[in-house]
Amino acid sequence: MIAQRSYAVEPWTVRETSLNLDVLSQSESVFALSNGHVGWRGNLDEGEPHGLPGSYLNGVHEVHPLPYAEAGYGYPESGQTVINVTNGKVLRLLVDDEPFDPRYGRLVSHERTLDLRRGVLTRVCEWTSPAGTTVRVRSTRLVSLTQRAVAAVAYEVEPVGRPARVVIQSELVANESLPDPDGDPRQARVLKSPLEPEEHFAAGHRLRLVHRTRHSGLRVAVAADHVVTGPERTTTSSESNVDVARLTVTSVLEPGQRLRVEKLVGHGWSANRSRPAMSDQAEAALAAAAHSGWPGLLAEQRAYLDDFWARADVEVDGDEEIQQAVRFALFHVLQAGARAEGRAIPAKGLTGSGYDGHAFWDTETFVLPLLTYISPDAVAEALRWRQSTLPAARERAAQLGLRGAAFPWRTIEGSEGSAYWPAGTAAFHVNADIADAVTRYVTATGDTDFARDTGVELLVETARLWRSLGHHDHHGVFHINGVTGPDEYSAIADDNTYTNLMARENLLAAADAVERYPEQAARLGADDEESAAWRDAARAVHLPYNAELGVHEQHAGFTRYQRWDFEGTRPEQYPLMLHFPYFDLYRKQVVKQADLVLAMYTCHTHFDEEHIARNFAYYEPLTVRDSSLSACVQAVVAAQAGHLRLAHDYTAEAALMDLEDLEHNTRDGLHIASLAGTWLALVAGFGGMRREGGTLRFAPRLPEKISRLAFTLQLLDRRLHVEIAPDKATYTLLSGGPLTLHHHGTPVTVRPDDPAVRDVPSPAYRPAPEQPPHRTPTVR
Ligand code: BGC
């Protein structure tokens, strides 16, 4: 994997000191701003040049027919794709007679900074036009974390050396032309100009456009207002047509004079509300933003983030790159989930259109664990979104001849969007991942309202799915056959260990919930008899094991498959799915991403230390990490098995996935799960944090090159700070009453004003396992 470092290594910022058009799309993702509701890619203010223009409203999508060469029962008929909504971030600039464009004239300097504490993207550049006029441009952009429908830009121009006639065109642009998407031409057709105009308006400094998507019927309204400051004789005019609304600001500036435009943008969308209602909604968002004003929006953003960092910051001494990357990761995970409120958290957040804007199991397995301990409200919202999609999930289960709910493998609005069964609906584990997220959230917060109103329903309906998908054999053993686990290089397999163990937890959690909330259970038609059947299945679940090798099997029979010819696979043949047929991957021992290794983390109580070490050593040489979801999990388990150096390498891989574009696809959007995985690698890896019932266990141990690691967790209305040094760990309660946790297997009660300090034991020595040839992670 080739590393490409485009950003300065600094603790609280991500800074690009020159404009490299070759990596423009990547930096648009890295510099994306979002609050989970509105998403603006880091496109240049002037709109061009661009890699991939991106302006999103979470949930706004278009539907398109899914292509099948051969039809089959139960194949989803239509897919969903995120689309660009009206772009409110464009501010075009004309200097004398020439449009500001870094591809022409001379770009003297260009610097962009994502400030993780202020929550803004700033830009300072100096450009000399082909005719020789030089201007300095400064802009600051934010997507408000406090006012979820609002984004804003402050844009300022100043001539250098000689006067300049300057025109700024602040625009709302709908149906922007996009680079041609690869793949299905029918989809490309649908996505070209997906918005049908309904209303356009421009008067004074105010602009508004209302559109509706053609097939999904979603109405989108975007409105803007401006504050213009410039020398005397600065003039403004505005106009609109169906797809563009524009405010034009003109001035002649002497050196030292500035023209400044503060642009506030309000958004709204709905499947049901009328055109006037949507116009009003966007205007109301604007009115609220104008009430705060630009300085107010900046101050609110800073205060919101001060509060966030006080409860979420992770400090890493000894590895500056990981320090920066984990803060970058936390910031983007916050952006993806903070204000999603009733919508999904997509795999790319709102940073790009990769994966068609779909949400996967990534959310529950990688993103929600982190949010549970730093922003638990966002977890409740994300799971309520799943609950809101239960009608579609029940319908899907019924269509498949199953009971309960079958949640989709990939979706925007709740229905299955995967056209490929083996790496789609067959990955039923997403249901147990959702159930696990419910249990994790409820045990970490004690939120009984949520447990009663949302938890029971999610647990019961997913447990029903497992009970109907699996069966007891004539010995009473419970099997779940023909499913796909996390590793997408094995498919439609019997008794995937991860799936079986997660289903087991799901069944038990549902049975407990029925006992605890009998009224809710009765409303769902669940009774003691049904929950007894769940407990029976859970107790009897099959765990395939190869006694000869002394290792757990990823799925029944896996260890008897032929080993993949790793020695004969050239480095450029990775990722394998793009160079070899799936049928061959499916029948060999080769692992795309942590699967059995993931089970050892999420269902750790089923594995003793010896098996964790042995299984890890067995699966490591088979795991090629063709998914970005792998490195962070391998980091967690490597640390537990005592391979601290390797865990450090994997942590860096997860952390730098996007800052170094390790998978060469950051242009399509950030890998939100891998970013969240950075936190998992540090907290669950080097912190050794595991959940056991309502208790947290820690088994901290640092790799040689990290001299200190500190993080904070929210737990049952308490704030716990954990600080790890090479030889000792300190647990401090920052707020709330006494808390009992475990440190390397021993209970420790931490009391207010009385930090608990414990020694860190050295790990047992084990020879480091090997990876497949060409797949060793970069050594730190
Ligand atoms: C992985 C899946 C993941 C998806 C979206 C795939 O490459 O194999 O596990 O859910 O990407 O991130």
Please give the Cα distance from 367 to 356 (Å, whole number): 19
Distance of CA 679 to the CA centre of its chain: 13
Residues 6+ apart with CB under 8 A from 152: 141, 142, 144, 262, 263, 264, 265, 289, 294, 297
Q: At what angle do helices 456-469 and 429-445 cross, to 10 degrees?
A: 150
Is 262 in a helix, a strand, or coil? strand
Ligand 1 touching residue 347 (CB < 6 A): yes
- CATH number for position 288: 2.70.98.40
Mean per-residue pLDDT, 457-469: 98
| Run of H or E including 657 | none
Distance (Å) from CA 175 to ligand 1 centroid: 29
Q: What is the pLDDT of residue 2?
A: 42
Q: Are residues 396 and 513 in the same domain?
A: yes
- DSSP one-letter string for 545-608: EETTTTEE-SSTTGGGSEEP--TT--GGG-SGGGTS-HHHHHTEE-BSS-SHHHHHHHTGGGS-
Ligand 1 touching residue 147 (CB < 6 A): no
Mean per-residue pLDDT, 465-487: 98
Report if residue 156 sits inside a domain.
yes
Please give the Cα distance from 391 to 382 (Å, whole number): 16
Q: What is the pLDDT of residue 330?
A: 98
Tell me: the pLDDT tens digits for 357-395?
999 999 999 999 999 999 999 999 999 999 999 999 999
Please give the Cα distance from 327 to 312 (Å, whole number): 9
> Structurally, how many domains does the chain consist of?
2
Q: Which atom of ligand 1 is nearest to the CA of 360?
A: 10
Tell me: the pLDDT tens digits for 577-600?
999 999 999 999 999 999 999 999
Residues 6+ apart with CB under 8 A from 168: 91, 92, 93, 94, 155, 157, 248, 249, 259, 261
Of the candidates 284, 310, 336, which is a domain's last residue?
310
Q: Are residues 530 and 405 in the same domain?
A: yes
User: Looking at ligand 1, which residue's alpha carbon is closest to its atom 7?
Assistant: 627
Ligand 1 touching residue 627 (CB < 6 A): yes
Q: What is the pLDDT of residue 4?
A: 54
Q: Are residues 591 and 491 in the same domain?
A: yes
Q: Which atom of ligand 1 is nearest to the CA of 355?
A: 5
Q: What is the pLDDT of residue 189?
A: 59
Ligand 1 touching residue 355 (CB < 6 A): yes
Ligand 1 touching residue 500 (CB < 6 A): no
Average pLDDT, the chain: 96
Ligand 1 touching residue 593 (CB < 6 A): yes
Which whole-number Å values give the CA distances from 607 to 366, 544, 765, in the listed order?
21, 13, 19
Ligand 1 touching residue 488 (CB < 6 A): yes
- CATH number for position 485: 1.50.10.10
Mean per-residue pLDDT, 709-733: 97
Distance (Å) from CA 576 to ligand 1 centroid: 14
Q: What is the pLDDT of residue 180?
A: 72
Report if residue 697 sits inside a domain.
no
Report whether pLDDT(694) > 90. Answer: no
Q: Are residues 228 and 282 in the same domain?
A: yes
Which residue, 185, 233, 236, 240, is CA-closest to 209? 240
Ligand 1 touching residue 731 (CB < 6 A): no
Mean per-residue pLDDT, 620-629: 98
Q: What is the pLDDT of residue 179?
A: 81
User: Looking at ligand 1, which residue's alpha carbon is closest to its atom 9?
Assistant: 486
What phi and psi values does residue 255 have, to the nearest 5 degrees? -55, 135
Return the percentage of the chain with pLDDT > 90, whole number: 95
Q: Are residues 194 and 337 in the same domain?
A: no
- DSSP one-letter string for 164-196: EEEEEEEEEESS---PPPSS-HHHHHHHSS-EE
Report if residue 184 sits inside a domain.
yes
Q: Which domain holds residue 492?
A: 313-688
Tell me: the pLDDT tens digits for 222-253?
999 999 999 999 999 999 999 999 999 999 99
Per-residue pLDDT band at 681 (split at 50, 70, 90): very high
Per-residue pLDDT band at 3 (split at 50, 70, 90): very low
Opening angle at CA 445, ends 443 and 447, nearest 5: 95
Of the candidates 310, 327, 359, which is a domain's last residue?
310
Which whole-number Å values give the CA distances from 342 to 337, 390, 405, 449, 460, in the listed order?
10, 13, 19, 17, 21
Q: Are residues 12 and 104 in the same domain?
A: yes
Please give the Cα distance from 299 to 310 (Å, whole number): 17
Report if residue 733 sits inside a domain.
no
Q: Are residues 459 and 366 in the same domain?
A: yes
Which residue, 508, 437, 500, is CA-closest to 469? 500
> Cβ-count burial of 747 within 10 angstroms (0-12 exposed, 13-18 middle, 19+ buried)?
exposed
Q: At what angle do helices 429-445 and 497-516 cross, to 10 degrees?
A: 50
> Cβ-count burial of 33 within 10 angstroms (0-12 exposed, 13-18 middle, 19+ buried)?
buried
Of the candidates 634, 661, 688, which is a domain's last residue?
688
Q: Which of 46, 413, 416, 488 is catalytic?
A: 488
First and final CA of the chain: distance in angstroms? 14
Q: What is the pLDDT of residue 243?
A: 98
Q: CB 181: neighbour CB atoms within 10 A?
A: 15
Q: What is the pLDDT of residue 340?
A: 87
Tell me: the pLDDT tens digits for 312-329?
999 999 999 999 999 999
Residues 6+ apart with CB under 8 A from 645: 703, 704, 768, 779, 780
Ligand 1 touching residue 360 (CB < 6 A): yes
Report if residue 539 sits inside a domain.
yes
Tell me: the pLDDT tens digits for 107-142?
999 999 999 999 999 999 999 999 999 999 999 999
Report if residue 176 sits inside a domain.
yes
Q: Are residues 388 and 421 in the same domain?
A: yes
Test site for ligand 1: of 627, 633, 664, most ligand atoms within 8 A of the Cβ: 627
Q: Are residues 300 and 319 in the same domain?
A: no
Distance (Å) from CA 629 to ligand 1 centroid: 7
Tell me: the pLDDT tens digits for 168-202?
999 999 999 888 766 555 555 567 899 999 999 99
Please give the Cα distance from 106 to 247 (Å, whole number): 27
Report if residue 738 sits inside a domain.
no
Q: Are residues 291 and 329 in the same domain?
A: no
Please give the Cα distance from 407 to 358 (Å, whole number): 13
Per-residue pLDDT band at 520 (split at 50, 70, 90): very high
Please give the Cα distance from 672 to 655 (Å, whole number): 11
Tally the C-alpha atoms within 13 A of residue 693's C-alpha that lie toward its C-beta.
Answer: 5
Which residue, 369, 305, 382, is CA-closest to 341? 382
Q: What is the pLDDT of residue 177?
A: 87
Contact 240, 202 (CB under 8 A): yes
User: Looking at ligand 1, which residue's alpha carbon is closest to its atom 4?
Assistant: 360
Distance (Å) from CA 554 to ligand 1 centroid: 18
Q: Which atom of ligand 1 is nearest to the CA of 347?
A: 12
Please give the Cα distance from 661 to 653 (Å, whole number): 10
Q: Which atom of ligand 1 is nearest to the CA of 486?
A: 9
Distance (Å) from CA 421 to ligand 1 centroid: 14
Q: Convert 655-666 to b/e letters by CB count within 10 Å (16 or more is b).
A: bbbbbbbbbebb
Per-residue pLDDT band at 259 (split at 50, 70, 90): very high
- DSSP one-letter string for 388-405: HTHHHHHHHHHHTT-SS-
488 is an active site residue: yes
Return the percentage of the chain with pLDDT > 70, whole number: 98
Q: What is the pLDDT of residue 186?
A: 56
Q: Is the dihedral of CA 179, 181, 182, 184 positive or negative?
A: negative
Q: Are residues 209 and 358 in the same domain?
A: no
Ligand 1 touching residue 409 (CB < 6 A): no
Contact 280, 120 (CB under 8 A): no
Contact 537, 466 (CB under 8 A): yes
Q: Are residues 259 and 393 in the same domain?
A: no
User: Looking at ligand 1, which residue's alpha carbon is closest to its atom 11?
Assistant: 627
Please give the Cα distance from 558 to 554 (Å, whole number): 6
Q: What is the pLDDT of residue 5?
A: 72
Tell me: the pLDDT tens digits for 753-771?
999 999 999 988 999 999 9
Please give the Cα distance from 587 to 585 (Å, whole number): 6
Q: How many residues does the chain have?
A: 780
What phi and psi values does residue 352 have, to the nearest 5 degrees? 175, 170
Contact 27, 112 (CB under 8 A): yes
Q: Which two tokens stand for residue 233?
A: 């004789």
Ligand 1 touching residue 601 (CB < 6 A): no
What phi and psi values does residue 302 have, to the nearest 5 degrees? -65, -45
Report if residue 370 sits inside a domain.
yes
